[in-house]
Amino acid sequence: MRRLLVCTLGALVFVGCGDGSGSDPAAHPSTTAAVTLSAPTATPIVVAPSANPSASPSVAATPAEVAWAAGGNSLLRSDDGGFHWRDTGRGASGLAFVTRDVGWIFSEGGQLSHTVDGGRTWTDQVPNIVGAAPVMLDLATVDGIHAVVVGGAPRLDITRLGPPAALYTADAGATWIPAALPPFDPDLLADVDLLSACLTASGLGLATGTDIKNFTTSIVLLTHDGGRSWDDITDRLPHRLFAQVACGTDGRLWFLGAESTVMVSADGGASWEDHGAAFPPHRTLEGGVFLADGVAWLAALDAPPGHRLLAYRSDDGGESWAEHVIAPEVIEIEKLGLAALDGAHAVVVAQDEHPLAFPRSSFGRSWVTIDGGATWAATEHPEPIDALWDVALVP
């Protein structure tokens, strides 16, 4: 559940956005992955480089986990942990899965569908939304029962791209109810959409938004009740456009962004500790995943001259990080999605912003590691894929 590319960016976006229809068979039993975090630490972060960033893991060693990827006009499924993908015949902008069976897909264009059988069938939940459906740009869930959707208000005024909007459900989507957002100046946030959200099992959650028209304003919201109501905590954090958020079930909240921004809260968002100073400068943190036993992953892009796609892995809850190079030169890569199952297996998807290339290749790209990030393989999927913005990985 990472940040989605917003199709309303106009000239900045050259890929298609849309929905599809159909179904995809799946034949795996349901399992649920536990998600916990170790206690926060004040020890400075130590970044260690990858020993072998250029090698490729053996496809023969592919695992049996299921991966889902979404973006542009496509919903893809992989039955070997992200090494090979097939098109399901549906379209989606983003997704959230908690087991092989239970998950959601959604799109900015108004789709919100739920499955409880691994994608064999999908139920349209748009009719379950109380009031007008917002523009949906991210969805977060931890248990398949409680979930939030964030984005922007319905585009009733075509001159405005916002303001922020959010929905929540406490019954697996049988009803989606508009969340209570804090009072704000409608002119100030007229073009601000919420682009990233996360939830914990306790109901703590975080969401961030950006002015996607003028690129001047950002907002950070905090919930303690599973998304029913949100407080504005923007002034507690640095101003970062297109910031990302990540949550851990131990209560820690992570705020990620450009200029190596890594802020961590261990007290429900009341105070924040800067963990970004020890990272190399000019990194843009694009997503984070926090798993059991202190395992954590971050995905990042570095600034010129390298333009590398990077992963950081921690085995001690964020006390120290190892830097791994996913791809050494990805000048056109902009939007990323990250999913991880454990300290060995992770998948990254991205959008290749090179729409004028000829002959045209797939703009959606993906990579997978099964050795803790030491090596990454560029993976196979149907073409053309307009973009990949979001990814899920389940055992």
> What would the 3-class secondary structure string for 339-395 be?
EECCCCCEEEEEEECCCCCCCCCCCEEEEEECCCCCCCEECECCCCCCCCCEEEEEC
Count of H-run helices and E-run strands, the chain: 0, 29
* Distance of alpha carbon 394 from alpha carbon 379, whole angstroms: 17
Label residue 306 by pLDDT band (50, 70, 90). Answer: low
Overall average pLDDT of the 25-45 stretch = 34
Residue 139: inside a domain, yes or no? yes
The mean pLDDT value of the chain amounts to: 83
Angle at 309 between CA 308 and CA 314, to 5 degrees: 120
Does the pLDDT of residue 118 top 60, yes or no? yes
Residue 209: inside a domain, yes or no? yes
**177-191 per-position pLDDT tens digit:** 999 999 988 889 999
* Distance of alpha carbon 25 from alpha carbon 177, whole angstroms: 31
What's residue 163's pLDDT? 95
What's residue 362's pLDDT? 54
What's residue 364's pLDDT? 84
What's residue 96's pLDDT? 97
Q: In which element (H, E) is residue 249 found? A: none
Does the pLDDT of residue 141 top 80, yes or no? yes
Label residue 28 by pLDDT band (50, 70, 90). Answer: very low
Overall average pLDDT of the 43-52 stretch = 41
Higher-scoring residue by pLDDT: 321, 25: 321
Domains contained in the chain, number: 1
Residue 377: inside a domain, yes or no? yes
Alpha-carbon separation of residue 223 from 38, 72, 135, 196 (angstroms): 22, 30, 20, 13
Bridge-based pairing state of the strands 112-115 and 346-352: unpaired
State the CB neighbour count (10 A cutoff) for residue 252.
Answer: 24
Which of 14-18, 128-132, 315-319 has the highest mean predicted lDDT (pLDDT)? 128-132
Residue 360: inside a domain, yes or no? yes
Does the pLDDT of residue 247 top 90, yes or no? yes
Residue 353: inside a domain, yes or no? yes
Residue 1: inside a domain, yes or no? no
What's residue 251's pLDDT? 82
Containing structural domain, residue 230: 7-394
What's residue 5's pLDDT? 40
- The whole-model pTM stands at 0.84
Label residue 62 by pLDDT band (50, 70, 90). Answer: low
CATH number at residue 206: 2.120.10.80
